[in-house]
Structure 1
Amino acid sequence: MIRVNGISKTFPSPRGVVPVLRDFSFTVPSGSCFGIAGKSGAGKSTLLSIIAGLQEPDEGQVLIDGTDIFVLDDRRRALFRNQNIGFVSQEQSVLAHLTVRDNVRLPAFLGDGRKRLRTEERAEQLLESLGIGHLADCYPAELSGGENHRVLIARALMNEPGIILADEPTGSLEKEQATAVVEIFRALADEGRTVLMVSHDADALQRCDEIIRI
């Protein structure tokens, strides 16, 4: 479950402080898929980044399955995120010196060592589900932008997180690929995980249980 309580965030500008989020609250129950929609610049990506613990709010609280993530120090928050949250953002990139398979396996090597024994099988299952299993031994430079984006999605799911946060997950994908990705997220929610995605894609938002508009 994701619980957001009274989140506010401002950014400095040459004209003064600009409010981006004001006293924003909502709850995403476990086993559901929620969408976030709104105009460009409304603060959607900022909100998702705060929920992921990558930015701190000026005010407010984020509870992930009961854990107040901003009570944790930076190291513990990063460990918590790696173990519990799968995050796909527009700013992320694959690591050029690693194969596709090793890019996907990376979160497991940063987290619980007990999971490492089955990382290769898990990585290959994820790549197959996203239609790029045949690219496992390739390097990112050999892939298209859409293919690399699917690698990022696979990497976010590597540790089987209970929480999945996705910022425009279908933005760089063709319609068939986008549909497949959304159906994966829908299936994860149906299995009991919590999915929250920012999207301009009307088809993706239709598969959500509820849409939060900001």
Structure 2
Amino acid sequence: MRDKVAIEVWDGWIRLFHWGLVAAVLISFYTTKTSGAPFLFPVEVHAQAGYVVIGLLVFRWLWGALGSVYARFRTFLYPPAKTVAYSKSLLKRQPSAYASHNPLGGWMVMLMLLSLSFQAVSGLFLSDDIFFQAPLYGLLGDGVGSRLRTLHQLNSDLLIVLIGLHLAGLIVHRLLGEPLVAAMLVGTKRFRQPPVDARKEWLSSTILRLRAIGALLIAAGVVLWLWFY
């Protein structure tokens, strides 16, 4: 049966955020595992990647409240009962089709955003005790700083688990005939019938563009302040 319904789900801003975040997180993880080439001072690159992550997250939190319909958190965060019901249908390999994130995927996105936000912000209070001090190092005192260092390391492990679950989810949905990676590249999903969360955008493209520019300026301002602090 041929696809009948094509929906533009992920706007260009979301796609840029997603792949920019992937790149920044990869650099951040890589610079914790290397002590040399290609970076002269990996710890500084690690911190700079963290600043970029913070900027991207600032944009995503704003866009989740003010952005396009499928990017909004209220579109894809569901109550526990619906999430459990979707989980059961997924186990039976009979899940309903969603344009935005499905109930499980929506909460996974929220967990990853919260974990990434904590990781990036907590890093602002740390030091390697040799060459580098983050912009807010020492602001909360040595005791809090020491606890944040421990939590920063533990949360790094949690992020690896969450990323692994995210990748596993992509594979599962690909096997079920839903190519999520392709959708995040081109922005469009195709369905044999309208998804359960199909809805129309109620904001004009001009308003969305102005909101995106405003969110970008705020995010860029945060990154620049941290970079040159």
TM-score by length of 1: 0.25
TM-score by length of 2: 0.24
Structure with the higher fraction of residues in helix conformation: 2
Higher Cα Rg, which structure = 2
